Structure 1
Amino acid sequence: MEVVPEPIPGGSALARDYIDRYETVEHLYGGDFRSEDSREKRAAWLDANEHQRADRTKIASALRLYNEQHNPHSAVTNALALLEQPGTLVVTGGQQSGLFTGPLFVVYKAITTIQAAKEAAAQLGRPVVPLFWIAGEDHDWDEVNHTFVLNRTGEITRIKLDKAEGPRSSVSDIKVEESGWEQVIAELDGLLQESEFKPQIMEFIRESSRMTGSMSDAFAKLIGSLFGKFGLILLDSADPELRKLEKPFFAKLIERNDELEAAYKQSAMRIVDGGYELQADVTSGNANLFYIYEGARLLLHKADGRYTDRKGAVSFSPEELLAVLEDHPERFSNNVLTRPLMQDYVLPVLATVLGQGELAYWAIPLNAFEVVGGQMPLILPRMSFTVIEGTLHKHMNKYSLSFEDVRQGLEQKRKEWITAQDELELGRRFEETKEAFSAMYEPLIEQLGTIQAGLLKLGNNNKEKILDQIAFLQGKAQDAMEKQNEAALRQWERIELSLMPLGKPQERVYNMMYYLNRYGPAWLDELMTIPADFSGTHRIIYM
Structure 2
Amino acid sequence: MPNDCISYQKSGYFSPLMNDYLDQNPKLQSLYNRFPTLENFEAQIAEKQTNFNNSHRTSLVSALQKQYAGIEISHLTQQNIESLKVNNTFTITTGHQLNLFSGPLYFLYKIISVINLTTELKVKYPAYNFVPVYWMATEDHDFEEINYFNFKGKKFRWNAESTGPVGRLSTEGLADFFEIYQQELGSSTNAEKLKKLFQDTYLNHDNLADATRYLANALFGSHGLVIIDADDADLKRNFIPYIKEELLQQTAHKKVLETNENLKDYFIQVNPREINLFYIEDNLRERIVYDPDSHRDGKYTVNNTKIEFSETEILALAESNPEKFSPNVIMRPLYQEVILPNLCYIGGGGEIAYWLELKSFFDAVKISFPILLVRNSVLLASEKQLKKADKLNLSWSDLFSKQVDLVKNKVLILSEIDIDLSLLKAQLQKQFDILNEITTKTDPSFAGAVKAQEIKQIKGLEKLEKRLLKAEKIKLKDTLTRITDLQNELFPNQSLQERQANFSEFYIESGEHLITKLIERLQPLEQRFDIIRL
CA distance in 2, matches of 1:343, 1:322: 21
Partner of 2:17: 14
- Which consecutive unaligned segments of at least 5 residues does structure 2 have? 294-298, 416-470
Corresponding pairs, count? 471
Q: Matches of 2:482 and 2:306 in 1, distance apart? A: 56
1:224 aligned residue = 217
Residue 19 of structure 2 aligns to a residue whose secondary structure is: helix
The answer (yes or no) to whether the contact 1:354–1:382 under 8 Å persists in 2 is: yes
Deviation at 1:240, TM superposition (A): 4.4
| Aligned twin of 1:175 | 170
Which SS does the other structure have where 1:290 is aligned?
strand
Q: Secondary structure at the match of 2:526?
A: coil
Deviations 1:479-499 (A, max 9, x none): 9x98xx6xx888656523331
Partner of 1:444: none
Q: Could you tell me which amino acid in structure 2 is paired with residue 264 of structure 1?
A: V
Is 1:49 equivalent to 2:40 in the alignment? no
Residue of structure 1 equivalent to 2:518: 527
Q: Distance in 2 between matches of 1:181 and 1:117?
A: 35
Does the aligned pair in 2 maintain the 1:2–1:541 contact within 8 Å?
A: no
Is the 1:71–1:234 Cα contact (8 Å) retained in structure 2?
Answer: no
Matches of 2:2 and 2:228, distance apart in 1: 33
The answer for the alignment partner of 1:99 in structure 2 is 100
Distance 1:526 1:413, change over 3 A: closer
The aligned counterpart of 1:268 is 260
Deviation at 1:191, TM superposition (A): 2.1
Structure 2 residue corresponding to 1:161, chosen from 117, 137, 158: 158
- The reply to whether residue 542 of structure 1 matches residue 526 of structure 2 is no
Tell me, in whole angstroms, the C-alpha distance in 1 between the residues paired with 2:414 and 2:525. 44
After superposition, the C-alpha distances for 1:266-300 in whole angstroms (9 at most, x for unaligned) are 2222222xx222110135xx200001257211112
Distance across 1 between alignment mates of 2:314 and 2:35: 37
Contact (CA 8 Å) 1:59, 1:245: kept in 2 or not? no
What is the CA deviation profile of residues 495-533 of structure 1, one whole-angstrom value per residue up to 9, with x for unaligned ones? Answer: 233311122100111111111111111221111111514
Write out per-residue CA displacement over residues 404-430 of structure 1, whole angstroms, 9 at most, x where no aligned residue. 3333344676699999999xxxxxxxx
Q: In the alignment, which residue of structure 2 is the partner of 1:372?
A: 365
Distance 1:262 1:12 in 2: 25
Q: State the partner residue of 1:458.
A: none
- Check 1:368–1:514 CA distance in 2 against 1; reply closer, same or farther (3 A cut): same
- Could you tell me whether the CA contact under 8 Å between 2:491 and 2:497 is conserved in 1? yes
CA contact (8 A) 1:2 1:542 kept: no
Q: Take 1:243 and 1:112, find their aligned partners in 2: how far apart are those partners? A: 27
Runs of 5+ consecutive residues of structure 1 not aligned to the other structure: 151-155, 423-474
Change (3 A) 1:541 1:213: same
Contact 1:76/1:231 (<8 A) preserved: yes
- Distance in 1 (CA, whole Å) between partners of 2:3 and 2:352 is 25
Match of 1:441 in 2: none
1 CA distance for matches of 2:70 and 2:2? 37
- Give the Cα–Cα distance (whole angstroms) in 2 for the partners of residues 54 and 184 of structure 1: 44
Q: Say whether the 8 Å CA contact 1:279–1:357 is kept in structure 2.
A: yes
Aligned to 1:307: 300
CA distance in 1, matches of 2:96, 2:282: 25
Displacement of 1:209 after TM fit? 1.3
Q: Distance in 2 between matches of 1:293 and 1:304?
A: 24
Partner Cα separation in structure 2 for residue 111 and residue 384 of structure 1: 11
1:398: how far off? 2.8
Asked if the contact 2:380–2:531 (Cα under 8 Å) also holds between the matched residues in 1, the reply is yes
Q: How far did 1:32 drift?
A: 1.8
1:184 Cα shift?
A: 2.8
**CA–CA distance in structure 2, aligned partners of residues 350 and 370 of structure 1:** 16
Which of 146, 149, 168 lines up with 1:147 in the alignment?
149
Per-residue CA deviations over 1:376-422 (Å, capped at 9, x if unaligned) read 11111111111111111122223333333333344676699999999
Superposition RMSD on alpha carbons, in Å?
3.1
1:212-291 → structure 2 map (5 Å cutoff): 212-255=205-248, 257-272=249-264, 275-283=265-273, 286-291=274-279
Q: Does 1:511 align with 2:502?
A: yes
CA contact (8 A) 2:279 2:285 kept: yes
| Kept in 2: contact 1:54–1:345 (CA 8 A) | no
Contact 2:492 2:500 in 1 (8 A): yes
Deviation at residue 245 of structure 1 after TM alignment: 4.6
> 1:182 & 1:389 partners in 2: Cα distance?
32
SS at match of 1:197: helix
1:70–1:509 Cα change, 3 Å:
farther
Instruction: Report the counterpart of residue 138 of structure 1 in structure 2.
Output: 140
Structure 2: distance between partners of 1:369 and 1:410: 42
- The 3-state SS of whatever aligns with 1:336 is coil
Offset at residue 54 of structure 1 (A): 5.2
* SS at structure 2 position matched to 1:277: coil
Cα 1:54–1:373, aligned 2, differ >3 Å: closer, same or farther? farther
Q: Distance in 2 between matches of 1:528 and 1:242?
A: 31
- Quick one: which amino acid aligns to residue 5 of structure 1? C
CA contact (8 A) 2:236 2:323 kept: yes
How far the C-alpha of 1:325 sits from its partner, in A, is 1.9
Structure 1 residues 259 and 56: CA distance shift in structure 2, 3 A:
same
**Whole-angstrom distance in 2 between the partners of 1:70 and 1:511:** 25
Please give the alpha-carbon distance, in whole angstroms, between the structure 2 residues aligned to 1:375 and 1:408: 39
Which amino acid letter does the alignment assign opposite residue 158 of structure 2? L
The alpha-carbon distance between structure 1 residues 146 and 365, as it changes in their structure 2 partners (threshold 3 A), is same
CA contact (8 A) 1:34 1:535 kept: no
> C-alpha separation between the residues in 2 aligned to 1:299 and 1:510?
33
Task: Tell me the percent identity.
Answer: 25
Superposed counterparts of 1:17-96, under 5 Å: 17-34=20-37, 36=39, 38-51=40-53, 55-70=56-71, 72-96=73-97
